[in-house]
Amino acid sequence: MLNELVSMLPKSADGVLIVSETNRRYFTSFTSSDGILLVTRKGSVFLTDSRYIEEAQNTVKCCEVEELKKLSEQLPELCRKFGVRVLMAESERLTVAQLGAYRRLLKGITVTTVGTDKIIDTLRMVKKDFEIESVIKAQRIAEKALDHALGMIRVGVTERELALTLDFFMLKNGAQAVSFETIAISGANTSKPHGVPTDKKIERGDFVTMDFGAVVNGYHSDMTRTVAVGEVSDEQVRVYETVLEAQLKALDILREGVKCSDADACARIYINEKGYGEYFRHSLGHGVGLEIHEKPNLSPKSEQVLRAGNIVTVEPGIYIPGKFGVRIEDMATITKFDCVNLTKFTKNLAIL
Ligand SMILES: [Mn+2]
């Protein structure tokens, strides 16, 4: 993977400094809270401190491994050794303080953030087989958790109890972590797309929305289902069917070469036609991988084009303030000809 990265560097750059945890992990397959990866045209070194050095020396195969003792001496020395004059650095995942420190450390070397993220994200967006397999494993755990949680949804159960049930089941059944703070909301709370679980008890006639995921090998899953409790109104059914149809339409057009903004528009136009356009106020989806939100974004403003190997969520929603909301979210892998839905859980409206 380091070869791929080097081959994408602009002529003006001699190397890249990779500091962020997820990008370090992506290129070295090594997980550590601290370390830096220096990738240059003439050689690459992964530096990590005494806590990790033994494991790193045993497992990191993509480049040399060196114990991080005094960065202020080691990094300039390595840059001299590899003839680095212009070094690229990350932008979104690097703090202003970190960038300033590296610039002070590397006097005489131009440290630029221009274009770095774009190169790295272009690589990260196209998932390798083991990355897709990890996401699928995480997704299967999440689905089992949902199956389990549906069995305990009834009048009187609180949103927090439901969220904890999902989390506990995922962690007990192979998830190394949950993907993000689980959303389990009910009734009028479902009109908030990212509502926080409260002590509110589930009531008859409520919609219950659950948005959650598991992490396996560092890779995240993400899914949302909305279910009804006891009974549903005609309006609830109408909104649910509209969201579902919008999602199916979008999934149907996904394939390599489709503009991300067109995928978003596909769902948005349908929801507009049904009269709920003002209630779909977030983008259609996002990439998923080592981070829960990655490129590409399926949004109206996105200028990206889908490529085979992308993993994206497709999650339209309609949220009517003070009343209720519905979101249905699947993850899909893009292929040359279509997409493969990684989410196997049913989307028929369940009335529990
Ligand atoms: Mn999502």
pLDDT of amino acid 1: 84
288 half-sphere exposure, CB direction, 13 A CA radius: 33
If you measure from the C-alpha of residue 111 to the centroid of ligand 1, how many angstroms do you get, rounded to a whole number?
34
If you measure from the C-alpha of residue 287 to the centroid of ligand 1, how many angstroms do you get, rounded to a whole number?
9
Q: Any idea which residue has 């962690």 for tokens?
A: 171
If you measure from the C-alpha of residue 328 to the centroid of ligand 1, how many angstroms do you get, rounded to a whole number?
10
Estimate to the nearest angstrom the gap between the alpha carbon of 72 and the chain centroid. Answer: 34
CA distance 6 to 242: 46
CATH annotation of 2-125: 3.40.350.10
If you measure from the C-alpha of residue 329 to the centroid of ligand 1, how many angstroms do you get, rounded to a whole number?
7
pLDDT of amino acid 238: 98
DSSP 191: G
Q: Where in the chain are all domains bearing CATH 3.90.230.10?
A: 129-341
If you measure from the C-alpha of residue 325 to the centroid of ligand 1, how many angstroms do you get, rounded to a whole number?
15
Q: Where in the chain are all domains bearing CATH 3.40.350.10?
A: 2-125
DSSP 150: H
If you measure from the C-alpha of residue 73 to the centroid of ligand 1, how many angstroms do you get, rounded to a whole number?
43
Instruction: Give 309-331 pLDDT, tens digit per residue.
Output: 999 999 999 999 999 999 999 99
DSSP 287: E
If you measure from the C-alpha of residue 313 to the centroid of ligand 1, how many angstroms do you get, rounded to a whole number?
6
If you measure from the C-alpha of residue 332 to the centroid of ligand 1, how many angstroms do you get, rounded to a whole number?
12
CA distance 309 to 209: 29
Q: What's the order of all strands across the beta sheet hosting 311-314?
A: 294-298, 285-287, 311-314, 330-334, 339-341
If you measure from the C-alpha of residue 55 to the centroid of ligand 1, how many angstroms do you get, rounded to a whole number?
34
If you measure from the C-alpha of residue 219 to the centroid of ligand 1, how many angstroms do you get, rounded to a whole number?
14
If you measure from the C-alpha of residue 134 to the centroid of ligand 1, how many angstroms do you get, rounded to a whole number?
17
Which tokens sit at 81? 């050794």
If you measure from the C-alpha of residue 189 to the centroid of ligand 1, how many angstroms do you get, rounded to a whole number?
18
Query: What Cα–Cα distance (Å) separates residue 259 from each residue in 70, 115, 128, 256, 342?
Result: 47, 21, 21, 9, 21
Which tokens sit at 170? 């995922």
Helices 159-172 and 129-150 meet at what angle, rounded to 10? 130
If you measure from the C-alpha of residue 210 to the centroid of ligand 1, how many angstroms do you get, rounded to a whole number?
11
CATH annotation of 129-341: 3.90.230.10
What global pTM score does this model have?
A: 0.94
If you measure from the C-alpha of residue 196 to the centroid of ligand 1, how many angstroms do you get, rounded to a whole number?
15
> Which residues does the chain have with pLDDT short of 70?
none
pLDDT of amino acid 270: 98
If you measure from the C-alpha of residue 288 to the centroid of ligand 1, how many angstroms do you get, rounded to a whole number?
8
- The answer for residues whose C-beta is within 8 angstroms of residue 314's C-beta and 6 or more apart is 247, 250, 251, 254, 263, 267, 284, 285, 298, 329, 330, 331, 332
| Residue 283 CB burial class (10 angstroms; 0-12, 13-18, ≥19) | buried
If you measure from the C-alpha of residue 223 to the centroid of ligand 1, how many angstroms do you get, rounded to a whole number?
7
Q: Do residues 226 and 240 lie in contact, with contact meaning Cβ atoms separated by under 8 Å? A: yes
- The answer for residues whose C-beta is within 8 angstroms of residue 6's C-beta and 6 or more apart is 39, 40, 41
- What are residue 322's phi and psi, to 5 degrees? 80, -10
At residue 132's C-alpha, the angle toward residues 128 and 138, to 5°, is: 145
If you measure from the C-alpha of residue 120 to the centroid of ligand 1, how many angstroms do you get, rounded to a whole number?
22
